[in-house]
Amino acid sequence: MTKVATRFAPSPTGPLHIGGIRTALFNWLYSKNQKGSFFLRIEDTDKERSKEEYKNQIIQSLKWIGIESDGNEYIQSKKIDDHIKIANELLKNGHAYKCYCSNEEIEEQKNRAKQKKIPYIYDRKWRDKSEADAPQDIKPAIRFKSKIDGSTLLKDLVQGDIEIENNTIEDFIILRNDGSPTYNLSASVDDHQMNITHIIRGDDHKINTFKQMQIYLAMKWTLPSFAHIPLIHTTEGKKLSKRDKASTLDDYSKIGVMPEALRNYLLRLGWSFKDKEIFTLEESIQHFSLEGIGKSPSKLDMSRILSINEHYIKNMNEDDLFNHLTKYCENYKDKIDSKSKNIKKSLSFLKNKARTLEGIYNNAQYLIKDKIKISSEDQKLLDSLAKTILKDFLKEFQNLTNINKENLEKIINNLIKKNKTNFKGVGQPLRVALVGSKFGPGIYDIIISLDKNEVIERLKAAS
RNA sequence: GGUCCCUUCGUCUAUCGGUUAGGACACAUGGUUUUCAUCCAUGAAAGAGGGGUUCGAUUCCCCUAGGGACCGCCA
């Protein structure tokens, strides 16, 4: 049996959107599950729109989520000569022909079709015309001689059997009149030369598949298997595109979604394995299969992404979580080096209050910032009684040599008794004084996580 | 308009002819708790509609409806 090879073939005309990332993920997962190879092919033949920076961004994005290609990326523009060679071969053995229609002529055909409300399909004018009739002033494009009779069956690994009439596939152009190859030609030649065995791509490529199958057949190449995965839809139910908000990877990483979480979310979007929701990378490789992919498109659900992210935050070991956090802060906030020791040891309780890295960052503000700000609303909570409580607490606290929960508890319990109040009566002013808000971590956690002199400073400032 | 695809709770999905149609997220209620959270428990919530096939259909077939993709000398 031949070794499985899959590929992901984006064009570097913008940042990858998460639909693309999911396609890449499925391809990668399938190849790994089959102990095969995964390749990245950069389809950069659209000179106008392709940019080197996007290529790098794509590679980075894939890496971020854990996908790396086997071997160097394949650059399509470097293979153009091969594509042209095949086009000429096709021309020679009668599977393609020169089309001398002018742009105006094609436009006219399209308009006519629109008026009659019939679908436009190139009228195959030059399919059987003699070269002798060719106008001298027009450079021809090369069209593939598509089958007219019969039908073609695609045994799709996700969608099942799909059969369409051959005459609905037009004689598509494979070489433009400037001599450059078009997508369907290039993709077929590349896939063949790369020995791709399984082409897993979005549903929107289905028609291309029928065109590409004909090229394979005409060249007598072994046909790969195809799997068309349903598209990801927006909440409005339309195909997700780069223009949609919250569609690129950066949209998620900047709010503190971690790669493991997004990977897990994307995996379960349109694919399932029994009732299992959380998959380690190894588990996803182990369980991934094309049969597990659903047939209907799925919508993006932000709260689900956040919830999976929350799961990873709470269950990840704290060293890894801390690494994620520092990297996140470096990329999107301020570096937290100077405060990192306090933050790291506080992760055990900070993480329980956050769904994202940004959430942890926000909750850790009282640790990160030297000075805290108390809103005027919260300031009201610091009335005269509260201030005397703070002063009393400070007095005891300063003498404390060993700051731990037991000792703090003693002080606070005494204050509760003395002032005939409850825990809230003491805890709330303390929290406001130390964090700047009535919301925040537990009092003991706050005090222990701060340096002693910092606690003293803040209590003095507030009381 | 043509071709093709899809249709189970709001969302992601399980079910591969016989289930009280399961899980997860979100939602609601209650409990734990020094606040906000976490955590725990409980609840509400689905087979688009109509025909067949069958002893029996969410599951198989057909029709209808709804949704989507494609229809470039872009990829």
Distance A275 CA to B43 C1' (A): 22
Nucleic acid strand B within 7 Å of A160 CB? yes
Instruction: Give percent helix, percent strand, percent coil of chain A, each to the nearest 5.
Output: 50, 10, 35
Nucleic acid strand B within 7 Å of A450 CB? no
The helix (run of H) or strand (run of E) holding residue A358 is helix A357-363
Nucleic acid strand B within 7 Å of A204 CB? yes
Q: In A165-258, where does DSSP find H-type helix?
A: 183-193, 206-219, 249-253
Dihedrals phi, psi of A156, to nearest 5 degrees: -80, 135
Q: Which nucleotide is nearest to A405 (CA to C1')?
A: B34
Q: Are A161 and A55 in contact (CB under 8 A)?
A: no
Q: Is the pLDDT of residue A174 over 80?
A: yes
Over residues A151-169, mean pLDDT: 95
- In this prediction the ipTM stands at 0.96
**Mean of the per-residue pLDDT values of chain A:** 93
The helix (run of H) or strand (run of E) holding residue A233 is strand A232-233
Percent of chain A with pLDDT over 90: 82
Q: Which nucleotide is nearest to A297 (CA to C1')?
A: B6
Nucleic acid strand B within 7 Å of A205 CB? yes
State how far the alpha carbon of A174 is from the alpha carbons of A46, A120, A194, A383, in Å. Answer: 14, 18, 19, 80
Q: Is the pLDDT of residue A264 over 90?
A: yes
pLDDT range class, residue A1, cuts 50, 70, 90: low
Nucleic acid strand B within 7 Å of A120 CB? yes
State residue A136's pLDDT score: 84
Q: Which nucleotide is nearest to A116 (CA to C1')?
A: B1
The whole-model pTM stands at: 0.95
Q: Is the pLDDT of residue A338 over 80?
A: no
Over residues A234-260, mean pLDDT: 92
pLDDT range class, residue A453, cuts 50, 70, 90: very high
Over residues A265-288, mean pLDDT: 97
Supply A438's token pair. 């009535």
Residues 6+ apart with CB under 8 A from A383: none
pLDDT range class, residue A107, cuts 50, 70, 90: confident
The residue with tokens 């971020």 is: A64
- Across A79-83, A100-104, A413-417, least confident range: A100-104
Distance A296 CA to B49 C1' (A): 20
The DSSP string of A377-427 is HHHTT--HHHHHHHHHHHHHHHH-SS--HHHHHHHHHHHHHHTT--HHHHH
Q: Which of residues 358-417 of A touch strand B (CB under 7 A)?
A: none
Nearest residue to B11, CA vs C1'?
Answer: A301
Express each pLDDT in A383-434 by its tens digit.
889 999 999 999 999 999 899 999 999 999 999 999 989 999 999 999 999 9
Distance A292 CA to B23 C1' (A): 16
Over residues A33-45, mean pLDDT: 97
- Relative to beta strand A74-75, strand A232-233 is unpaired
Supply A330's token pair. 């470096």
Question: What is the four-CA torsion angle of A379, A380, A381, A382, rounded to 10 degrees?
Answer: 60
Higher per-residue pLDDT: A412 or A125? A412
Nucleic acid strand B within 7 Å of A333 CB? no
Q: Is the pLDDT of residue A262 over 70?
A: yes
In angstroms, the CA A214 to CA A208 distance is: 10
pLDDT range class, residue A213, cuts 50, 70, 90: very high
Express each pLDDT in A17-28 by its tens digit.
999 999 999 999
Q: Are A159 and A295 in contact (CB under 8 A)?
A: yes
Nucleic acid strand B within 7 Å of A112 CB? no
pLDDT range class, residue A186, cuts 50, 70, 90: very high
Nucleotides of strand B under 7 angstroms from a protein beta carbon: 1-8, 10-14, 22-26, 34-39, 67-75
Q: Which nucleotide is nearest to A13 (CA to C1')?
A: B75
Express each pLDDT in A60-76 by its tens digit.
999 999 999 999 999 99
Distance A160 CA to B65 C1' (A): 24
